[in-house]
Amino acid sequence: MRVIAGRAKGFPLKGPKGTPTRPATGLVRGAIFSILDSSVDDWSRVLDLFSGSGSLGIEALSRGAGNVDFVDQESRCCAIIRENLEKTEFSDRARVHCTTVSRAISMLDGEYNIVLMDPPYKDTGIGKTIEQLADSRLVGGGTTVVITHSSRFKLESKYGMLIMKREYRHGDSTIAIYRKEQTS
């Protein structure tokens, strides 16, 4: 697993062994960032939920994100993220929160420009987490939420004020793009 583009292009990333983590493939990461490159202007604050190895957030940092908050509940994953951040020299622009995603959503503050979610594919209760995120202060009118999930599992078109704008399928992975519904 390597960083695809930007300042740390080609840098190998370490993945956590002995955890149920399934890092996003290079194809899926490439697709996510191609979508974001063409649709998001402000990359100042990024949130990477279910971070695993940190590959999505580190890719965002490599491509110019200002700051990234990483969230994973596995202590081994948190250690790997910190190690990958140190080796890519992005530690000064990142914070690692070793806690559940639900707890992080309730404790973090301020709106993010981009929220990346790569939950375990077997987590069929992910809808509740998306609903919690949709109703949180972390998602504003300009926030883009990107969720990767198994193509065998269908996400809802709407969670709270989050509306699905588009879905892209790549093999067994689907990338769903959500934005907050604008109220008048």
Structural domain boundaries, residue 82:
26-180
Domain annotation covers residue 74? yes
Is pLDDT at 89 greater than 90 in this prediction?
yes
CA separation for the pair 6, 30 (Å, rounded) = 12
Domain annotation covers residue 35? yes
pLDDT for 32-43, tens place per residue?
Answer: 999 999 899 999
CA separation for the pair 49, 47 (Å, rounded) = 6
pLDDT for 51-77, tens place per residue?
Answer: 999 999 999 999 999 999 999 999 999
pTM: 0.92
Query: What pLDDT sits at residue 124?
Result: 77
Domain annotation covers residue 41? yes
Domain annotation covers residue 85? yes
Query: DSSP characters for the chain?
Result: -B--SSTTTT-B----SSSS--PPPHHHHHHHHHHHHHH----SEEEEES-TT-HHHHHHHHTT-SEEEEEES-HHHHHHHHHHHHHHT-GGGEEEEES-HHHHHHH--S-EEEEEE---TT-TTHHHHHHHHHTSTTEEEEEEEEEEEETTSPPPSEETTEEEEEEEEETTEEEEEEEEPPP-
| Count of domains forming the chain | 1
Query: What pLDDT sits at residue 120?
Result: 87
Tokens at 166, concatenated? 């588009």
Q: Which amino acid is at 132?
A: Q
Domain annotation covers residue 12? no
Query: What pLDDT sits at residue 152?
Result: 86
Q: What percent of the chain has pLDDT over 90?
A: 73
Domain annotation covers residue 6? no
Domain annotation covers residue 103? yes
Domain annotation covers residue 10? no
User: Any idea what the CATH number is for the domain that residue 132 is in?
Assistant: 3.40.50.150
